[in-house]
Structures are given as structure tokens and as C-alpha cells.
Amino acid sequence: MIPYLILLLVPLLFSAFAIVSRDQGRRRVLKIGIDKETRNNGFMLPAFFTIFFLLLALRDETIGRDLLKYKYYFQRFSNLDLEVALETKPDSLFWLLDWLVGQFTHDYQWFLAVVAGLTLLPIAKLYCEDREHGFLKIVLFVNLSTFVMIFSGLRQALAISMGLIAYEFVRKKRPFWFLICAFIAVGFHHTAFMVVGFYPLYHFPLRKKQVWVAIPVIALLFVFNRQIFSMITGPVNALLGEKYEATIEDTGSYTMLIVFALFAVLAYVLPNEDRMDKETLALRNFLLITVALQCFAPINALAMRMNYYYIIFIPILIPRVLKYSEERFGSTQRRGSVVWWVEMGITALFLLYYLYTTYVSCQTGSSALDTYPYVPFWE
């Protein structure tokens, strides 16, 4: 359990260290303290992603349910001709990555390190753009399904990260390069076709007056999820293939649906839309899609896999919602205000939940995707 505690608690120490600008940006200096300027420019998030990278790069091949399977494919493709690797479908870019790394080393541990780096760099870059509320972002991130998936699903983790690169071109209104990145993401994992939705969702955000149209639609998706899913199983199976055949089965995944729905309520109740920037408005659209897709998660696990591409944005959105809160709700800097209590409540709840589930998983040896307890490769 200690490595997972280090991942969460050590970054707190780095929040007191920051590089800040002085003399109108002409020089940058190291600052140490606990004031707002230091916290908002601190090393907490970079420290978190550095430790996370080390955990991924140095983990034993048993940490992550699919890692032994990926080891077999790495050893196989690294010894094949390039033409054979390129012809392998689907997810041909991942098999090409197997082949490329295999030209330099046959050590699977190095392959895991390369994948960890490629996966985390785009995520870390996006999360570190705004370092306010860093610990809130961290506790949200480690409690979402994308966190444990990164330990196991190498192909989809890379696809999600490539989706974040595509998101950069969405913000810059460069549709050609966005589509190129989306195509590359599909090359790593075929569920990445969900990335295509980024562009329209970003540039056509729903405001409070319009969201009332989305509420009954989402409610209908949940009430009639079995019937709707039965109607789309044909196209989904044709798109994803027999391996990911979409069939109705009870998964019991209601908890995250409730959590995402509560986040959506906060995202529309707390903020003042006149103060919100375009990106925050757009990310609320992403959250609505997350809720809509999660309506199908209780009857099919594939819905969660398709939702990963939008779930990854939640830790970025929630701090922005608090930042742009209505004046009557106060601010995170005003102790005792509504928004202050919301931030403290979310942080405490998700921190305690992470500590509890990590402790139970490490004690029992039973965890999602065989992520706990942590075992380094040298053991």
C-alpha cells in the first residue's frame, strides 16, 4: 500500500515549491511557501505524474490484468517483419509500437516504461496547464476508472492520450490536424472513434437555458437503456468486431453514474456563466456525454470503455466549476462559503474513499484489473 500512499501524499510536499515570474516575466525564481501564488504554481501535479510514471515503469508484469498478454505480443511482434506488424488488425499502430521498441530492446520492462511515458505525457501536460486546486485534481483522478485502466489497458491508455493531443487541435480550431490525431488514436484502439465527438461538443456548448433539453434525453437513456442498447448492438458489433461483442448483462455499475450526475448538477448550479470561459462551457458538454454514456454501463461494460475518452476530463472541469462560481456561493478562498465546503467535501470524500479501497484491496489481494497491491519488477 505504501507506493500508492506515496503517489498521493508526497506531491503535497511539493505544493510548497514553485517557479514564479518576476520583473514582468523577465526572470523566474524558486519560491517556497504556502501562500496562494506558490500553491497555484507549485510542483504538486508534476510530482504526482512523475511518481505515477515510476509506478507504471517499474511495476511487475502481474500488476495489470492484461500485462502478461501484452508481454506475449511484444515478444512476438518484436521478432516479426515490419510488413507483418503493419498488416495486423485491428489496433495496428500498437503492434507497430511493439515492433519499433523491439528493434532496440527485447526487455519487456523497457517497453512498459516507453508506454508509460507516451501515455502520461499528454495527460500531465493538460492537467498541469492550470495548477490551481491540484490536490482536488489528484484525488479525483485516482478514483476514476481511467486510473486503474492505465495499469492494464496499454492500447486504450495510449488511445486516450492521443485523444488529448487531438483535443489540443480542437481548442485551436484546426480540424484537419484534429482528424489526423483522432485517426491515430483509432490506430491504437478502435474504441477511440469516440474522440471524433470532441470537436462539435467543444464548439457548441449548452448553457443553462438549453440543458433542460438534455435532462429528459438522459433520463430516457437510463430508463430505456436495455431497449436502446438492443437497437444499437448490431452497428456496435459490426464496428468493434466479435472480440468486443456488445451484449446486455448486469454489471451493477450505478455508483459512478450517480457521481457523474451529481457532478453535472454542480456544473450547472454553481457557476456564473457570464464569468465562464469557452473551455469550461465546452467541458460541461463533455460531462453531459459522460453521464449519457454511463447510463449504459450498468448493462454493459463496453459502455465504460467508450466513456474513458470523456471521463479523463472530469478532474479538469470540477476545479473550473468552483473557480467560476456565482458570487452568492462564495469562493474557494472564502473559508466557510458554499464553494469552500463543496471543495473540502469532495476532496475529503474522494481521499477517504481512495485510502479505504486501497487498504481493502491490498489486504485482500482482490482489486480491479489486478492493480493492488503494488509489486515492483525486482520482486
Stated pTM of the model: 0.90
Residue 239 has pLDDT above 80, yes or no: no
Q: Which of 278-287, 341-350, 369-378 has the lowest mean pLDDT?
A: 369-378
- Contact predicate 132/319, CB 8 Å: yes
- The C-alpha angle with vertex 359 and arms to 354 and 363, in degrees rounded to 5, equals 150
Closest CA to 207 of 281, 287, 310: 281
Each residue of 43-99: pLDDT tens digit?
A: 899 999 999 999 999 999 999 888 999 999 898 888 877 777 777 777 889 989 999
What 3-state class would DSSP assign to 248?
coil
Determine phi and psi for 12, rounding to 5 degrees: -60, -35
Each residue of 152-178: pLDDT tens digit?
A: 999 999 999 999 999 999 999 999 999
Closest CA to 193 of 218, 156, 227, 221: 156
- Can you point out the beta strands (E) in the chain? 17-22, 27-32
- Contact predicate 322/248, CB 8 Å: no
Q: Which of 30-34, 61-65, 344-348, 359-363 has the lowest mean pLDDT?
A: 30-34
Residue 31 has pLDDT above 80, yes or no: no
Whole-angstrom distance, CA of residue 158 vs CA of residue 56: 13
Residue 135 has pLDDT above 60, yes or no: yes
